[in-house]
Amino acid sequence: MSKKTLRVVMPQWQGGNNFHYYFGAQLLAWLAPEGDGDTIEVPISVAPTNDQQEEGIVAKQQVLKQVRETKEKIEKRSPDQVVVLDGDCSVELAPFAYLAEKYKEDLAILWIDAHPDVMVKDEWKNYHAMVLASLVGEGDPDFAQVSNTSVDPSHVVFAGIDDQAEMERAVYQKHAFKNVPTADFDMSSEKVIDLLRKTGASKVAVHFDLDALDTNEFKGQGAARPDLFGEHYKKTYPGASIASVVRLIQDTAKEFDLVGMGITEHFPADAIILADMLKELPLIGGD
């Protein structure tokens, strides 16, 4: 029996408090090949957040509203597989919560990212850095309750975290998550695959934050912005090659039933700069 796949375009930006993720998600959806299943686009507010915090989280109620609406839309279609072309990382809450409820203990999550996204509001103010904490039942209770089934922390495998400080967060330490640094999957996927095998799950959802990629090879991420790139590269790690991440996801799909895939935090800096320039030109955007 063929599996029902749903593609979700969710240009949510408030979780990262950066409106450019709105455009980044739409461009990502335009660039992606057409899928075989249905596609839905979730309406996202463009109203500014003004950095206003609600119970320690910027734009908390707006993000919650959008996440809940997304989950309802996914549940209504009841897919077997979900592909999400995303804005900031917070958009993974709804699709992964749906998959956790559907597959329960048979689901593992591969989180390919330079950051674990398990912060709580005492550590950070923007929700995109807290989303995985919510999925494992930690952090702000309103977000944690979006899912009726918490993901077993032992079923989460990280790949691409190279900064030791990122692994010192309270939730990360509490659950002793497993991480495979970039250098350890550069030539082979085996270490990651072995950790996924040990979860005992047959199904995997993959979160892929584009900031896991080497900024010298891929500039479509926030850290590669022209105004940040030099300083960023002095204090962070280079990241993974595109080839190694593609191979890792392909190898995961060969051994497990891949039921979820999310691409997050596309920040097309050159296109954004070009769009701003075009607005200023006579006959095109200016007066």
Q: Which residue positions in the chain have pLDDT lower than 50?
A: none
Residue 36 is classified by DSSP as S
Contact 29, 86 (CB under 8 A): no
Contact 99, 147 (CB under 8 A): no
- Domain contains 286: no
- Domain contains 228: yes
- Domain contains 122: yes
Contact 224, 214 (CB under 8 A): no
All residues at 6 or more sequence positions from 126 whose CB lies less than 8 Å from its CB, including other chains: 15, 16, 17, 57, 58
pLDDT digits (tens, 9 = 90+) for 129-161: 999 999 999 999 999 999 999 999 999 999 999
- Domain contains 287: no
* Residue 20 one-letter amino acid: H
Alpha helices by DSSP H, 112-209: 131-135, 141-144, 170-175, 190-198
Q: Give, in order, the Cα–Cα distances in Å from 286 to each of 105, 260, 270, 278, 279.
A: 56, 43, 20, 8, 6
Alpha helices by DSSP H, 38-168: 60-77, 93-103, 131-135, 141-144
Query: What confidence score (pLDDT) does residue 34 get?
Result: 86
- Kindly state the percentage of the chain with pLDDT values over 90: 81
Give the CATH number for residue 46: 3.40.800.10
Q: By C-alpha distance, which of 81, 38, 28 is closest to 205? A: 81
Q: Which domain holds residue 123?
A: 5-280
- Written as six digits, the tokens of 118 are 């398990």
Q: By C-alpha distance, which of 94, 64, 63 is closest to 79? A: 94
pLDDT digits (tens, 9 = 90+) for 155-173: 999 999 999 999 999 999 9
**Pairing, β 257-264 against β 57-58:** unpaired
Beta strands in the chain (DSSP E): 5-10, 38-41, 53-54, 57-58, 81-86, 107-112, 156-159, 178-180, 203-209, 257-264
- Domain contains 25: yes
Q: How far apart are CA 147 and CA 96, in angstroms?
A: 9
Q: Give, in order, the Cα–Cα distances in Å from 275 to each of 280, 283, 285.
A: 9, 14, 10
Residue 11 is classified by DSSP as -
**Pairing, β 53-54 against β 178-180:** unpaired
**pTM: predicted TM-score of the whole model, two decimal places:** 0.94
Domains contained in the chain, number: 1
Query: What confidence score (pLDDT) does residue 120 get?
Result: 94
Q: How far apart are CA 109 and CA 78, in angstroms?
A: 20
- Domain contains 285: no
Query: What confidence score (pLDDT) does residue 233 get?
Result: 54
